[in-house]
Structure 1
Amino acid sequence: MSSNKFLIIEDDTIISATIKVTLEKNNIVVVGIAKNFENAMTLINSTKPDVCLIDIQLKGKFDGIDLAKELDKIKIPYFYLTAQTDPLTLNEVHKTNPLGYLVKPFTSKGLWSSISVVWQKYLNEKEKIFTIKSDGYIYKIPENDILFLEAFDNYCYVHSENKKILVPHTLKKVKSQLQSNHFFSPHRSYYVNTKKITDIGQTTIHLNSISISLSKAKRPELLKIIENNS
């Protein structure tokens, strides 16, 4: 983990210093500390961090959630640094995709334990590559980039971040080849990456603008999975 670069975005000097010392004691490279949205974006562009630690309640025009939305766009993972927040803030938080939450106040030992377990799990998942053949081509797709699988007669569509590939195998066959455990069948025709779900309705789920059917019988199970992973 020592080759990974961390950026801290926290406007409390004491807290940011504590985090920096904790990370460096564990051989993590801290590329900088930002105190607001603008400073953070400048450092992100110049240092290219592997992961960010973001205080949700940054002071200024733009808060930590605004920054998180920008990181989601450019696919830089992040943790939230947070104390108790109001329902309106939590509603906005649920529209983003953090790796996890680091709850203030925290001890140095507790902080590192929370970060290291989740970050190592993320790195392990990132390394899982899904290899498929279609129309004479071989595609290698990181499993984290797969949005969902969709049944199409005896074939299956693989929907990723930037591709839609028709595979000459059934949905059952294709999903059995995935190594990751964060996929779920909300309906018999779909197999969805739960990390990409942005909204859960009564009969549908959303992956941003994509709507997928959700069986009423499967809804409680999905809600429990999302809750356990939040």
Structure 2
Amino acid sequence: MNMPVLKILIVEDELIISETLRQMLIDMGHQCSAMANDFEEGMCQITRQQFDLAILDVNLAGLHNGIILGKECSKLGKPFFFLTSYSDYDTVQVAKVAKPGAYLVKPFTPEDILVAIEMTMMHSNTVSEGQFESFLESLVLSEREIDVLRCLKDQMTNADIANKLFVSKDTVKFHVKNLYLKLGINSRIELLSKMKGVSDGIAR
């Protein structure tokens, strides 16, 4: 999946891990908007809202207060996921209340981080039917393009779209490419953001 460059906030109290994570993000083409190594600085950075996505350690200074930071992100509508050493049932259940986009257990690989970012951003871009209808009003599209666009809104894969519309995957790819050109976008994340009316919502 092609993704726009994201400004990512890291809240992690182990400096070696936070620096490793920062370098991974840079290698992926993203930016590290800020790094915080304790709860107070993490909360300060979150309230500034100068990021597109946050990666939060669950356990900061011996306490599970990273979950509080996650709840604050949810309140502000900012996507985030947890990166932690804790995989026990009780911690996971408590963390779920904050509604993270993913829950990643250390140690991690660049591929793990990439998947967590993609899943979190996709999860954060659910489009309502009302938003979709408003979005359509500004466009001039064929009936088939609208069908494909509706499937993209529902976050269906190309294979699923092909099955639903009884066409080949190559036909779906053709329509998706044309939609991207018409809308001036390069990825599904950008498409979903436009549908939600927040195409300029990426942190600057």
Q: Give yes or no for TM over 0.5.
A: yes
Shift of the alpha carbon at 1:180? 2.6
Q: Which residue of 2 aligns with 1:31?
A: 33
Q: What amino acid maps onto 1:130 in structure 2?
A: E
- 1:94 equivalent in alignment to 2:96: yes
CA contact (8 A) 1:54 1:64 kept: yes
Q: Distance in 2 between matches of 1:120 and 1:47?
A: 16
User: Secondary structure of 1:131's match?
Assistant: helix
Q: CA offsets per residue over residues 34-80 of structure 1, 9 Å max, x none?
A: 11121012122335211100001111666111111111111111010
Q: CA offsets per residue over residues 81-103 of structure 1, 9 Å max, x none?
A: 02234443223112121111222
User: Secondary structure of 1:70's match?
Assistant: helix
Q: What amino acid maps onto 1:63 in structure 2?
A: N
Q: Distance in 1 between matches of 2:77 and 2:117?
A: 20
Q: What amino acid maps onto 1:115 in structure 2?
A: A
- 1:180 equivalent in alignment to 2:179: no
Q: What amino acid maps onto 1:180 in structure 2?
A: D
Q: Distance in 2 between matches of 1:114 and 1:82?
A: 16
Q: Which residue of 1 aligns with 2:52?
A: 50
User: Secondary structure of 2:34's match?
Assistant: strand
CA contact (8 A) 1:8 1:34 kept: yes
Q: What amino acid maps onto 1:111 in structure 2?
A: D
User: Secondary structure of 2:44's match?
Assistant: helix
CA contact (8 A) 2:33 2:51 kept: yes
The verdict on how the C-alpha distance between 1:2 and 1:177 changes in structure 2, with shifts beyond 3 A counting, is closer
The verdict on how the C-alpha distance between 1:20 and 1:47 changes in structure 2, with shifts beyond 3 A counting, is same
Q: Which residue of 2 aligns with 1:80?
A: 82
CA contact (8 A) 1:2 1:29 kept: no
Q: What amino acid maps onto 2:112 in structure 1?
A: L
CA contact (8 A) 2:102 2:120 kept: no
CA RMSD of aligned residues (A): 3.1
Q: Distance in 1 between matches of 2:24 and 2:117?
A: 11
Structure 2 unaligned residues grouped into runs of 5+: 136-149, 157-204
TM-score by length of 1: 0.52
CA contact (8 A) 2:101 2:121 kept: no
Structure with more contact order per residue of length (Cα contacts < 8 Å, sep ≥ 6):
2
- 1:131 equivalent in alignment to 2:133: no
Q: Distance in 1 between matches of 2:155 and 2:64?
A: 35
CA contact (8 A) 2:54 2:79 kept: yes
Of Structure 1 and Structure 2, the greater strand share is in: 1
User: Secondary structure of 1:71's match?
Assistant: helix
Q: What amino acid maps onto 2:104 in structure 1?
A: L
TM-score by length of 2: 0.58
User: Secondary structure of 1:96's match?
Assistant: coil
Q: Which residue of 1 aligns with 2:111?
A: 110
CA contact (8 A) 2:80 2:120 kept: no
Q: Distance in 2 between matches of 1:181 and 1:96?
A: 23
The verdict on how the C-alpha distance between 1:53 and 1:24 changes in structure 2, with shifts beyond 3 A counting, is same
Residue identity over aligned pairs, in percent, reads: 29
CA contact (8 A) 1:36 1:60 kept: no
The verdict on how the C-alpha distance between 1:130 and 1:8 changes in structure 2, with shifts beyond 3 A counting, is same
